[in-house]
Amino acid sequence: MKAKLLAHTPLAPLKEASGVLDAKSLLPHLGYTFAVERISRACSHQLVRHRGASFSQQSQRYITVKRLQERVVTPPSVEKAGDDEFKKLVKEASESYQRLVDRSVPKEDARFVLPNAVETSLLVTMDGRSLLHFFGLRLCNRAQWEIRALADGMLEEARKAEPKVFNAAGPYCYQLGHCPEGRFTCGRMREAVDRYRVNQG
């Protein structure tokens, strides 16, 4: 998995032009575009639920299905449990796909047999407010491991580009100073705060 910040709207010129507006007020005017590579389709389905963003995703019609086993994301829990069954199912899906294509089934229809583990790449653009919200939700310990890892990579890039805005970013417990999950809290707020705190020294 890889997340790279390709372009962003710098805060400084907007702050200068606005005169009195602070960074928080300017968040909706800040834009961030990331190239996201080698995440699973399962992860991309979670990502596109963020409505305050724009997405351009690689078409599944153009992946090399004959080498599908090289283009899947294997969850760590599956690797830990033994991934023989997982690999077998991916191989069977690849073979089924090829058989359907060989029978003149269009690729866009044959791909219905492919697993959510198949890798994809996409461009993601969010404004500053939406990106902070994304980090608040997806960096939470309760978030699914893959989208949390993606959010970590995106935060690292955003902090390098605009530390004044994103040094305060992290899971909502870090941003708010309390956990908003109520009875569903992970109980590990201090660990999360320590992880995302930026050393000002």
Show the beta-strand stretches assigned E in 96-149.
Answer: 119-127
Token digits of residue 166: 């994103």
> Going by C-beta distance under 8 Å and a sequence separation of 6 or more, which residues neighbour residue 188?
141
Task: Return the biggest CA–CA distance within the chain.
Answer: 65
The residue annotated as part of the active site, out of 41, 67, 138, 190, is: 138
Region of residue 35 (phi > 0: left; psi between -120 and 50: alpha; otherwise: beta): beta
**Interatomic CA distance for residues 169 and 179, integer angstroms:** 14
Question: Which residues is 73 bridged to in the sheet?
Answer: none
Q: Give the DSSP letter of residue 19.
A: S
Is residue 38 annotated as a catalytic residue, yes or no?
A: no
Cα 9 from chain centroid (whole Å): 20
Q: Give the DSSP letter of residue 71.
A: S
Active site residues: 138
